[in-house]
Amino acid sequence: MFESFIPSPNVVVGSVIAALIVAGIMAYINRRALFVIVPRSFSYSDLSAGQIVELTIINKGNKSEENVEVQLQSKLRYTLIASTLPSLDLSQDCMISLHRLPKGEDVSVILSVEEGEFSQDCVLSVSSKETKGKVKNNIEESQQTSSLEVAFFLVLIFVGMPVFGYFGGNLFVQDILPRLSSSTKAEVETVARLENQGWEKINKFVKAVGSDMNASEWPITISFPKRNGDLLSFTVNIKNRLPERAQYNVSLTSTYDQNKYILSHSILPNLRGEYLLLPNQDTSEKLEIYLPYEAKKKIVVFEFFVKDLNGIYTFNYVWEYDGKQ
CATH number at residue 228: 2.60.40.10
In this structure, the answer to whether residues 137 and 221 fall within a common structural domain is no
In this structure, the answer to whether residues 170 and 205 fall within a common structural domain is no
> Of 124, 151, 179, which marks where a domain is finished?
179
> Of 125, 159, 179, which marks where a domain is finished?
179
In this structure, the answer to whether residues 210 and 93 fall within a common structural domain is no
In this structure, the answer to whether residues 83 and 106 fall within a common structural domain is yes
In this structure, the answer to whether residues 174 and 94 fall within a common structural domain is yes
In this structure, the answer to whether residues 12 and 42 fall within a common structural domain is yes
Q: Taking 60 as the threshold, does the pLDDT of residue 198 lie above it?
A: yes
Q: Taking 50 as the threshold, does the pLDDT of residue 3 lie above it?
A: no
Express each pLDDT in 46-81 by its tens digit.
666 678 888 888 888 878 888 899 999 888 888 888
Structural domain boundaries enclosing 311: 186-321
Highest mean pLDDT of the ranges 121-130, 207-216, 297-306: 297-306
What's the mean per-residue pLDDT of the chain? 78
In this structure, the answer to whether residues 252 and 291 fall within a common structural domain is yes
Express each pLDDT in 222-247 by its tens digit.
999 998 888 889 999 999 999 999 99
Q: Which residue has the higher pLDDT, 262 or 171?
A: 262
In this structure, the answer to whether residues 60 and 132 fall within a common structural domain is yes
Q: What is the pLDDT of residue 136?
A: 81
Q: Taking 90 as the threshold, does the pLDDT of residue 251 lie above it?
A: yes
In this structure, the answer to whether residues 232 and 125 fall within a common structural domain is no
Q: What is the pLDDT of residue 146?
A: 53
Least confident interval from 144-153, 181-190, 224-233: 144-153
Query: What's the whole-model pTM score?
Result: 0.45
Residues 61 and 63: their CA atoms lie apart, in Å, by: 6
Q: Taking 50 as the threshold, does the pLDDT of residue 1 lie above it?
A: no
Question: Where does residue 19 rank: exposed (0-12), middle (13-18), buried (19+ CB within 10 A)?
Answer: exposed
Hey, how many other C-beta atoms are within 10 angstroms of the C-beta on 313?
22
In this structure, the answer to whether residues 40 and 174 fall within a common structural domain is yes
Q: What is the pLDDT of residue 325?
A: 55
Q: What is the mean pLDDT of residues 286-314?
A: 89
Q: What is the pLDDT of residue 267?
A: 75
Q: What is the pLDDT of residue 317?
A: 95
pLDDT-derived band at 307 (thresholds 50, 70, 90) equals very high
> Of 160, 179, 198, which marks where a domain is finished?
179
In this structure, the answer to whether residues 87 and 5 fall within a common structural domain is yes
In this structure, the answer to whether residues 195 and 148 fall within a common structural domain is no
pLDDT-derived band at 176 (thresholds 50, 70, 90) equals low
pLDDT-derived band at 276 (thresholds 50, 70, 90) equals very high
How many domains does one find in the chain? 2
- CATH number for position 168: 2.60.40.290
